[in-house]
Amino acid sequence: MMLTGIRQMEMKTVADPVIVNDTDVLIRMERIGVCGSDVHYYTAGRIGSQVVKYPFPVGHEGAGTVIKTGTAVTRVQSGDRIAIEPAMPCGECDQCLTGRPHTCRNLRFLGCPGQADGSLAEYIVMPENCCYPIPDHVSFDQAALSEPLSIGVYALKLYGKPLTGEKIGILGCGPIGMSVLLPAIAEGIEYAYVTDRIDQRLRIASDSGAFWTGNPDNEDIVAAISKKEPLLLDAVFECCGQQEAMDQAVQLLKPGGKIVIVGIPEFDRWSFPADIIRRKELCLQNVRRQNECYKPAVEMISTGRINVDRLVTHRFSFDRTKEAFDLVAEYKDGVMKAMIEF
Ligand SMILES: [Zn+2]
Ligand SMILES: [Zn+2]
């Protein structure tokens, strides 16, 4: 399923992918979640400096079944149901060698222009290191949700403090905001203040244990949260890529607080009030996808510590992928996560 222009997508027949390296695995795709980043490529043709060359298949939040394995593969065997980690680092550069494979200089990431074709295809080939077998009781939906969940788990890890007793804001409560909220609650957060413009999303957040939810279209978020928390928040997770949310984050944080930037903005520059961020000595933490958090995310799901089922709000067959992208692009019908089923 290829992007062929701005808001254009076509199904094309291509050659079956083949196993090249001994450590490769041939996978039949079963499920793919539509990610905000896929939709950025669909609607804008680029994210920052990463520009799509058409035709190009996106998609990276996948789960599938192993069909065939290279001769050296030991992690999985034919017939295994797996969650697929989309990042393929080189293992040899300075970043890989210092424990930062997610910023690998030669990274190949599924559905990232110039790196690797996406997984919106019936079959793909991946290195075995990207394949995580899932137990029978874990659904393909849940397995596909490991990818966004891993980003939330990583964002919390980068926040770096024990969560019990902390007061946090999560601004933007799409799948990524929820992927911060669910593990935060699993790790003991009681006071999570969550915002979004879509009321259905706020309902999912409050059903999942958010302490307070608010819609910036209906109320002044900064005034409402400051009233409840006069000493303000320890951390704010920006999960929507909006300047307005960043401005709220700066207001909502207590001195010494931390802004964790998880959202992907469509604009090129954030702006900050130099005076306030200096006086409050705010810390800015950027999050680049995730590092070493994919396996923990799969485990949180399979052990039942986290229930991600509420996130799936819509389903489409593979041939209706474009409808799923349009739905997500327009934020229609209270969409949280749209799943493509093969
Ligand atoms: Zn994603
Ligand atoms: Zn590398």
Residue tagged 């969550």 (tokens): 194
Query: How far does the chain reach from its first CA to its final CA, in angstroms?
Result: 12
Instruction: Compute, in angstroms, the gap from residue 222 CA to the centroid of ligand 2.
Output: 42
Nearest ligand atom owner, CA of 290: 1
Instruction: Compute, in angstroms, the gap from residue 31 CA to the centroid of ligand 1.
Output: 13
Nearest ligand atom owner, CA of 110: 1
Closest CA to 175 of 312, 330, 315: 312
Nearest ligand atom owner, CA of 102: 2
Instruction: Compute, in angstroms, the gap from residue 281 CA to the centroid of ligand 1.
Output: 31
| Structure confidence at residue 289 (pLDDT) | 97
Instruction: Compute, in angstroms, the gap from residue 290 CA to the centroid of ligand 2.
Output: 15
Separation between Cα atoms, residue 153 and residue 165, nearest integer Å: 18
From residue 37, alpha-carbon distances to 61, 218, 331 in Å are 11, 27, 14
Residue 193, SS3? strand
Structure tokens of 86? 């989309």
Nearest ligand atom owner, CA of 337: 1
Instruction: Compute, in angstroms, the gap from residue 255 CA to the centroid of ligand 1.
Output: 32
Instruction: Compute, in angstroms, the gap from residue 109 CA to the centroid of ligand 2.
Output: 12
Per-residue confidence in pLDDT tens, the chain, 342 aa: 999 999 999 999 999 999 999 999 999 999 999 999 999 999 999 998 899 999 999 999 999 999 999 999 999 999 999 999 999 999 999 999 999 999 999 999 999 999 999 999 999 999 999 999 999 999 999 999 999 999 999 999 999 999 999 999 999 999 999 999 999 999 999 999 999 999 999 999 999 999 999 999 999 999 999 999 999 999 999 999 999 999 999 999 999 999 999 999 989 999 999 999 999 999 999 999 999 999 999 999 999 999 999 999 999 999 999 999 999 999 999 999 999 999
266 contact partners, CB below 8 Å, separation of at least 6: 40, 44, 241
Separation between Cα atoms, residue 87 and residue 98, nearest integer Å: 17
Closest CA to 208 of 223, 189, 236: 189
Separation between Cα atoms, residue 5 and residue 105, nearest integer Å: 28
pTM of the model: 0.97
Instruction: Compute, in angstroms, the gap from residue 336 CA to the centroid of ligand 1.
Output: 13
What size, in residues, is the chain?
342
| Structure confidence at residue 266 (pLDDT) | 86
Q: Which helix (DSSP H) or strand (DSSP E) does residue 277 occupy? A: helix 274-279
Residue 82, SS3? strand
Instruction: Compute, in angstroms, the gap from residue 226 CA to the centroid of ligand 1.
Output: 32
